[in-house]
Amino acid sequence: MATLDPERLLSDAFAAAIDAARPERCVPPALPAPPAGRTVVVGAGKAAAAMARSVESNWNGDIAGTVVTAYGHAVPCERIEVIESAHPVPAAVGLRASERVLARVQGLTRDDLVLCLISGGGSALLPLPAAGLAFDDKQEITRQLLRSGATIHEMNTVRRHLSRIKGGRLGVAAHPARLVTLAISDVPGDEPVDIASGPTVADPTTCADALAVLARYGIVVPDAVTAALESSAWESIKPGDPRLARAEFHIVAAPQASLEAAARVAHVQGIPAVILSDRLEGEARDVGREMAILSRRIVGEGRPHRAPCLLLSGGETTVTVRGNGRGGRNAEFLLAFGLALGPVANVHALAGDTDGVDGMEPVAGAVWRPDTLARASALGLAPQGYLDDNDAHTFFAALGDSVVTGPTLTNVNDFRAVLVGRG
C-alpha cells in the first residue's frame, strides 16, 4: 500500500463532499414533468444560478424565470435571468431582485408550473422587507444577528417574520400553479423552513417566537418592528394553508450525503471513517475544543475509535463576535481545535465551508498540521490572541495554511475532517 499522504486525503475528502452536492449531479434526477401550461423558474441562493443552468440543460420545453445568487456565483443561462447580490448582509440590488422574483409568479393558472430553486444564502438574497419595514433597518437587524451568536434557526425565525417573500409567502403568491421546490440544504436537520428561510413552505414559528429571539440576543429594533410583531401583523404562512396544497418540496443535496462521499475517499485508502454528525451546532470554538478532546482520547486511549481514523462532521456552528478580526466559523473552529489539541503528533485536520466562503472571506477554510504551533511560534504569531479577536483567517493566512477553492456553486455548509493517525 502506498504511503498515506494526510493532507492529500483531507483535500480529496473535501473535494468529494463538494462534488456530491454539485447541481449538475443532483438537480436533473429530481426534475418534474413539463406542465400543460407555462414553466416559470425562480429561486435564490449561492447555488441558484448553477441549479438554473442545470434545469435549462435538461428541460424539454419552454422555460423562463429569475434567480438570485451571490456575487461571484453567477453562471451563464440562456432563458433564465440571473441576478447577483450581496451576502450575508443584503443589498439594494437584492431588494429589487426579490421584487422581480415575486412578480414572476403572479397571475399563473393551475396548468402552470413554478419550479423554485433554493440553496444556502437565499435568506440574504431575498431581502424583501415586510410592509412598513425600512430596508436599511432590515440590513442593520441582519448585521446584529450575524454577530450575536444566534443559531441559523433563530436567525431565520426572525427573517421569516420581517419579510414579504419568505415564510411561505412566495408559495402563496404562486397559487394556484403547481409548485415544486428543489433545495440544496445547508441547515442542520435539513428543515425546509430554514433553507433560505422557507419562501415556499408553511412556517410553524410565530411573531412571538421572533420577538423572543430578538430579546434573547439583545437585538435593537425600531419601535415599529416591535409593534408589528406584537400585533402579529407580520405573521407568516401557517401549516394547513390551502394555498400551499399543491406545493412539493424535495431536498436534492444535503450534508449527510456529502459526508458519506468523503467517507468513501478514506475507505478507498484503507482508513476507517466515522461520521460523527451532519448537524453539529454551537459556538465554533466550543465545538473545536470538544473535537480536540475526542482526538486526544483516540490517540492516548484508543477509544471510542481506534487510530487511524477519519472523523467527519457537518452542520453549522456559530460565532459570537467580540473581537475585530476577519471572522469565519470554520477557521475559528480549527484554531480552537488546534489550541486545545496542542502539539500532538500525527493529527491533521481541515475545516471549510462547502460554498468556498467562510464567513465574509473569499476563503473556504484552513488546515491544521502537527507542526502548526511550532511554525506559528517561529513567526512570532500568538494563536490565542487571534482567537480572542475572532481573527483565525489572518492566523492561517500568515502560515500559508488557508484553503481557497473559489465559489463552488453549491452549499451544504460546514465540512470538518480530522485525521487521527497512529502515534
DSSP code at position 104 = H
User: Is residue 249 located within the same domain as residue 388?
Assistant: no
- Using DSSP, state whether 329 is helix, strand or coil: helix
Strands (E), 112-151: 113-119
- Portion of the chain with pLDDT greater than 90, in percent: 95
Query: Do 195 and 167 fall within a single domain?
Result: yes
Quickly list DSSP for 165-199.
Answer: STTTHHHHHHTTSEEEEEEE--SGGG-GGGGGG-T
Residues 371 and 400: beta-carbon distance below 8 Å: no
Please identify which residue in the block is written with the cell numbers 500568538.
Answer: 382
Q: Residue range 45-53: average pLDDT?
A: 98
Residue 201 lies in a domain: yes
Under 8 Å between Cβ of 195 and 185: yes
Which DSSP letter does residue 271 get?
-
Pairwise CA distance, residues 138 & 179, whole Å? 28
Q: Residue 176: which domain range?
A: 23-253
Spatial strand order in the sheet of 414-420: 273-280, 309-315, 414-420, 347-353, 365-368, 402-403
Which of 253, 284, 305 marks a domain boundary?
A: 253
Helix 135-148 with 152-161: angle, nearest 10 deg: 170
Task: Quote the pTM value.
Answer: 0.93
Residue ending a domain, choose from 237, 253, 269: 253
pLDDT digits (tens, 9 = 90+) for 181-204: 999 999 989 999 999 999 999 999
Q: Which of 227, 253, 279 is the last residue of a domain?
A: 253
Residue in 31, 28, 74 with CA at minimum distance from that of residue 50: 74
Clarify whether residues 185 and 77 are in a common domain: yes
pLDDT at 326: 84
Neighbours of 220 (CB within 10 A): 9
Confidence of residue 206 (pLDDT cuts 50, 70, 90): very high
Note the pLDDT tens digit of each residue in 111-165: 999 999 999 999 999 999 999 999 999 999 999 999 999 999 999 999 999 999 9
- Residue 370: pLDDT over 60: yes
Three-state SS at 65: strand
* Domain annotation covers residue 1: no
Domain-located, residue 182? yes
